[in-house]
Amino acid sequence: MPIDSLRLERIEAASRVIDPVFRDTPQIFDDSLSRALGRQTLVKIETLNPVRSFKGRGSDFLLHDTAERRAVVCASAGNFGQGIAYAARGRGLPVHVFAAETANPLKIARMREMGARVEVGGADFDTAKQAAADYAHGRGDCVYVEDGRQPQIAEGAGTIGVEMAPMELDAVVLPVGNGALISGVGRWLKERSPHTKVIGVCAAGAPAMAHSWRSGMAVSTEHVETAADGLAVRVPVPEAVEWMGAVVDDVVLVDEGDLYVALRLLRDTLGLVVEPSAAAGIAAIASLDLAAARVGTVLTGSNFPPEFAKSL
């Protein structure tokens, strides 16, 4: 699916029509964080909303733009499922989410609290995704949606780029899961802030999206091993890989240790405890030479298990 399938006019429309609870999130230059990282660092906080992540943006715009009236089926590590459940609940649509046996129990509970039917099974996220697709195949009473495949999901996420573009950043460093976030934000920035480099971050234990971006085609791995469940992609979505190829300048890897250093840094400077995936951008800024004096990143989610904060 070519990059033109991500349309600037739809990103702009999404910035006006998605639920205001997800829009215009805080974005700040914190002095202590910037000093620790050795450069001016903008942090956009996407955790202060009903689903505690940026996923509500794309989910809400997808259901708005398609005017879907059938039940919605998807797979999720937890945050996308919450976004779909929240957006669908307001429209009176049933939601059926497939999640892996390894999924965060808190995320499963929150999806259920929002009215989703959650079926747990399979060794990992990509196994759950196949189960969701198999369930929806051939049924007329539901629609299967896949994070990273429908352009509206990336376009909704691209509204983050609308809000960050005026900050005149040298680089934006974004976590890469299924690729919708970086594709949507990158699509906007390449048109409206072309001097800003777009850099993706994958966990070293889940490098499939990095390999795919470098090769220009979807490259799967046999397994993933990372605490960052939002980045734990084993089988990339080809559409997202193609989108990324057109708008991403580089994709880097960060180790698990770097993720935990970043989590503690966010705790100690901003007073925020986020999930490991959300700290990937900070981990990259801290551990790698990105050759950018003024950078920005997105804290993508804070749906962590209750015991997680004790391990930091």
Q: Which residue has the tokens 């007329």?
A: 140
Q: What is the CA radius of gyration of the chain?
A: 18
Give the pLDDT score at 57: 98
Distance CA 173, CA 251 (A): 9
**pLDDT tens per residue across span 198-234:** 999 999 999 999 999 999 999 999 999 999 999 999 9
What sign does the dihedral 205-206-212-218 (CA atoms) show? Answer: positive
Q: Does residue 209 contact residue 183 with C-beta atoms inside 8 Å?
A: no
Predicted local confidence at residue 155, as pLDDT: 98
Angle at 35 between CA 172 and CA 203, to 5 degrees: 45
Q: HSE-up of 113 (CA within 13 Å, CB side)? A: 11
Computed over every residue of the chain, the mean pLDDT equals 95
234 close to 220: Cβ distance less than 8 angstroms: yes
Query: Looking at the domain covering 3-53+151-311, what would its CATH class be?
Result: alpha beta
Burial class (CB in 10 A: 0-12, 13-18, 19+), 101: exposed
* Cα 29 to Cα 97: distance, rounded to the nearest angstrom: 37
Element at 283 (helix H, strand E): helix 280-287
Per-residue pLDDT tens for 131-170? 999 999 999 999 999 999 999 999 999 999 999 999 999 9
Same fold? 3-53+151-311, 55-144: yes
4-36: per-residue pLDDT in tens? 789 999 999 999 999 999 999 999 999 999 999
Give the confidence band of 292 by pLDDT, cuts at 50, 70, 90: confident
What's the confidence (pLDDT) of residue 263?
Answer: 97
- Of 171, 165, 207, whose CA–CA distance to 189 is shortest? 165
Note the pLDDT of residue 1: 61
Q: Of 32, 27, 28, which is closest to residue 265 (Cα–Cα)?
A: 32
> Does the pTM of the predicted model rise above 0.85?
yes
With CA atoms as reference, report the closest residue to 74 among 119, 109, 20, 122: 119
Q: Where are the beta strands (DSSP E) in 92-149?
A: 95-99, 117-120, 142-144
| pLDDT, position 227 | 94
Ordered by start, the domain boundaries in the chain are 3-53+151-311, 55-144
Note whether 270 and 33 are within 8 A (CB): yes
Nearest alpha-carbon partner for 292 in 212, 223, 196? 196
Q: pLDDT digit string (tens) for 232-255?
A: 999 999 999 999 999 999 999 999
Instruction: Compute the average pLDDT of residues 160-182.
Output: 97
Query: Quick one: pLDDT band at residue 94, thresholds 50, 70, 90?
Result: very high
* Residue 2: predicted pLDDT: 66
pLDDT score at 4: 79
Percent of the residues in the chain that have a pLDDT greater than 70, as a whole number: 99
Which CATH class name applies to 55-144? Answer: alpha beta
